[in-house]
Amino acid sequence: MTEMDVAVPVHPVRRLLNKVPTFNRWFALAAAAIMMLAGGTTYVFATISLSMKVRMEYLQYQISFIGTMSAAGNIMGILPALFHDFMGPRPTALLSGVVMAFGYGLVYMALQKWFYTSFWMVGCFYLVFSAGESACFTSAMATSIKNFNPKHRGKVSGVLSCIYGISSAIFSFIYQHVFHQELLGFVFFVTVFVGVVPIVCGIFLNVVPKDFDRSRRENLVQQQIEEEQRYILEKEEGTDVKHIGTVNEPDEEQEEPVVEEDIIPPKQDDSVSPLVMIRSIDFYLFAFIVFACMGSGQTIVNHIGTAVESYGGNKNSISSIMIVNSIASCLGRVLFGFTSDRLSAYVIRPAFLNYALLMMSVSAYGFAFTNPGILVYFLTFGVGFSYGGVNAIIIAYLADRFGPKFLGMNNTISKLGALIGNFLLSTALAGAIYQANTRGGGNICRGRECYQSTFLIVASICLAGFVCSLVLMHRNQGMYAKIREKTAMENSAKMFKTVKV
């Protein structure tokens, strides 16, 4: 019995979902985009946090803890990532809708005070929701990355990350102008939305086979390109080739052509498992960069509402500030994603992390000394733009460096740095400094000292992340040079085809 005769067991859920028709990659991308709207609702917490704080009579460190848990799904997100890697996108999308609706439904019941809940219980409810959000993001993003050519990874990541980022602006607008800041009705609306969207859109979410949407002519063209690539390799190795377009019959003693490592990137970069990834120095450099930029960004966003209030600003401007942050995040994701692809021949992806970290550091430093006014909007734009840009680069860099096969799990592990940064900087640091400067035993702090030290520390951490990004950029120069050589070889093969008689 050969290996081909051995029946591979298929999970019953996968067998059932395999009966659903396979849709082309554009249907899958559209479904992923709508799912990103549902996944991005995790950032709406910054908009409703002040209303929740007043309704539930929480102290600042308590609302900071809940904010951290709302973005902490990466802890439990490891399980959805494993589920996705083994079960596929459709079961993961179904799971994400159920889990998100369950978690946000518990938050709604807690706000209704239908049963006793402490702040840590509400934090756990948000943790459940965030785990579902992680599954939603993973299934949508990883599927889309796999469905498109590697040279378009930045574009695909940028577009989907853009929609993910703009989601909070859309829902903040709905909260302010449709629900008129009525907390309970808005939370119920979000509960229904995040439950229905992933379940329905998951039907159209599938990894498209390579030859699914190719015509016979396109397949012949692809075969010709592969033939020209073989010709170029044999020519560089000194092998006698009859003529272009003719495949030589190999002699009995002739071996298959060996692809040199200086032409095509190493095999390990095509599919690196999480266990291999965590033994890489690049992973730890990258994890600290994520810790610095994303942890700092989440800290600023989670506290921007109370910071404006502490600085003497208008509470009604908080929704507008969050909309600016969301739009900036959207632009950062698109521009970083598209630019990193367009300039790939000149600038490697880690270089874009340098720009984001510098912008985040300058913005955090500005928040430490600013007064309420128009400058707050510009600083918020800087935070959102750099935060969104890093989000777009993360998924594309991981696909470049560690491959797309385990992208869901690798992305989840890498973003643990953001979770750690969020907890240490937002809950432990910012919450403690805020509460320490609260006078009279209340839960409201007034004055610049409420957040100034936090913003200065955050700015310093971003500068340290900038140094790590420079080291990472230096270490990855060789890898990206090999990727450029491979791309040039493919382009040369296409040119041979166009001039061939």
| pLDDT, tens digit (0-9, with 9 covering 90-100), for 449-488 | 888 899 999 999 999 999 999 999 999 888 888 877 776 7
Evaluate whether residue 127 is within a structural domain.
yes
| pLDDT, tens digit (0-9, with 9 covering 90-100), for 290-315 | 999 988 988 888 888 778 777 776 66
- The model's pTM is 0.66
Evaluate whether residue 234 is within a structural domain.
no
Domain ranges, residue 337:
20-209+269-485
User: Is 241 or 127 the better-scoring residue by pLDDT?
Assistant: 127
Evaluate whether residue 241 is within a structural domain.
no
Kindly report the average pLDDT of the chain as a whole number: 79
Mean pLDDT over residues 104-118, rounded? 91
Contact 276, 405 (CB under 8 A): no
Q: What percent of the chain has pLDDT over 70?
A: 77
Residue 229 has pLDDT above 80, yes or no: no
* DSSP character at residue 5: G
- The least confident of 237-251, 257-271, 443-457 is 257-271
Total structural domains within the chain: 1
DSSP line for 222-260:
HHHHHHHHHHHHHHHTT-----TT-PPPPPTTPPPPPPP
Residue 7 has pLDDT above 70, yes or no: no
- Residue 21 pLDDT level (bands cut at 50, 70, 90): low
Evaluate whether residue 229 is within a structural domain.
no
| pLDDT, tens digit (0-9, with 9 covering 90-100), for 25-46 | 788 888 999 999 998 888 888 7
d(CA 217, CA 10): 34
Amino acid letter, 415 = K
Evaluate whether residue 368 is within a structural domain.
yes
| pLDDT, tens digit (0-9, with 9 covering 90-100), for 373-413 | 788 889 999 999 999 888 888 888 888 888 877 877 788 78
d(CA 52, CA 58): 8
Ramachandran region of residue 129, left (φ > 0), alpha (ψ -120 to 50) or beta?
A: alpha
Q: Tell me the backbone φ, ψ of residue 409, rounded to 5 degrees.
A: -70, -45
Residue 76 has pLDDT above 50, yes or no: yes
Evaluate whether residue 335 is within a structural domain.
yes
Q: How many residues does the chain have?
A: 501
- Residue 261 pLDDT level (bands cut at 50, 70, 90): very low
User: Is 363 or 4 the better-scoring residue by pLDDT?
Assistant: 363
Reading the block at residue 471, the tokens are 């080291």
| pLDDT, tens digit (0-9, with 9 covering 90-100), for 417-434 | 888 888 888 878 888 888
Q: The CATH number of the domain where 199 resides is what?
A: 1.20.1250.20
Evaluate whether residue 218 is within a structural domain.
no
Evaluate whether residue 233 is within a structural domain.
no
d(CA 367, CA 196): 39
Residue 492 CB neighbours (<10 A): 13
